[in-house]
Structures are given as C-alpha cells and as structure tokens.
Amino acid sequence: MLVPEPSLELGVPAAWNANGKSSGRLIGEIELAATPPAVRLARSYVRELVGQHFGADRSDLGDLELLTSEAVTGSVLHARPRRDGTIMLSVLHLDRYVRVEVTDGGSPAGQPRPAEEHLPVHGRGLLLLQTLAADFGAHRGGDGTSTFWFGMGVRDGWRLP
C-alpha cells in the first residue's frame, strides 16, 4: 500500500457539507499518513493554522496542541487508517469555538467498539478532554470511518475573522 508523505498543505474538500461533518467554517484540512510522525505534524499544523486564523500567540495554543496530540495519537495507535493509509485532520471555526476532527478507518477488524465509547481516547486522554475541552465526541461514517472531535473556546484577545 502506498502511504502518502506527511504534508502541511491546506486543502478544502469539495463536498464538506454533504458528508455529514460539522457545518462550521472549515479553516483547514490535511491528510496525514497514519503513523506516529503524524502526531507532531498535526500539532504543528493546528498551531500554525489557528494562530494565523485568529492572530493567536503560540503561548495561547498549548491546550489546543495537547488535545490535538491526544486525538491523533489515539487514532494512530488504536484505529485503522482510512483506505488510502491516512487519517484526516480537519479544523473548523464554529461561532466562538475551534473544533478539531480526526477521521480514521474505524476500529481494527475483530475489535468492535461499543457505540457509547468515545473515540479514540484511552488513559489520560479522557481526563485531559474532560478538563480542557468545551465538548468532545465521536461519530461513525456510513463507509466505516470514525471521526473523533473536540471543541475549545476562542480565547479573549483572539481576533474573530
């Protein structure tokens, strides 16, 4: 299977509102190889993207980076990649919130997840999400994919576009 090289290029999907995802304003989306280096790239991508979009200082983005790391790590370690060997990281602006979504290929074969289990958090990730995120959750796509998401409030002093 050909696995794409990690990249930090921005992209906007053609059918964003037609695929069941959030209706917020997409500020960036990136496909990453479903490998451990994706965690560092995802963190950098979210930091740069949100920092530029809101005029936020790097020191204000630590919690957002931490939760991004947890979500991508969970996806890489505990889920299958999508058919093309990637995970999708999407960042949206919803009113006064930033929402990060990680889409993967769902549970590994033979390991179905209970419907009520939040994906892909294990260990300290759940505690971090409960403490730092405004909200979080997961949903399954009709094609077998799973999307885990979390939202964080826009901080005072950030510029709202």
Domain ranges for the chain: 21-153
pLDDT score, position 113: 52
| DSSP sequence for 20-62 | T---SEEEEEEEEESSTHHHHHHHHHHHHHHHHHHT--GGG-H
For 21-153, CATH number out of 1.20.900.10, 3.30.565.10, 3.30.420.10, 3.40.50.300 equals 3.30.565.10
Q: Note if the pTM is more than 0.95.
A: no
pLDDT score, position 122: 54
pLDDT score, position 109: 66
Residue 86, strand partner residues: 33
pLDDT score, position 91: 97
Distance, in Å, from the CA atom of 57 to the CA atom of 136, rounded to the nearest integer, reads: 24
pLDDT in tens, the chain (161 residues): 343 344 333 333 332 333 345 568 999 999 999 999 999 999 999 999 999 999 998 888 999 999 999 999 999 998 999 999 999 999 999 888 999 999 999 987 655 555 444 444 456 788 888 899 999 999 998 888 999 999 999 888 788 87
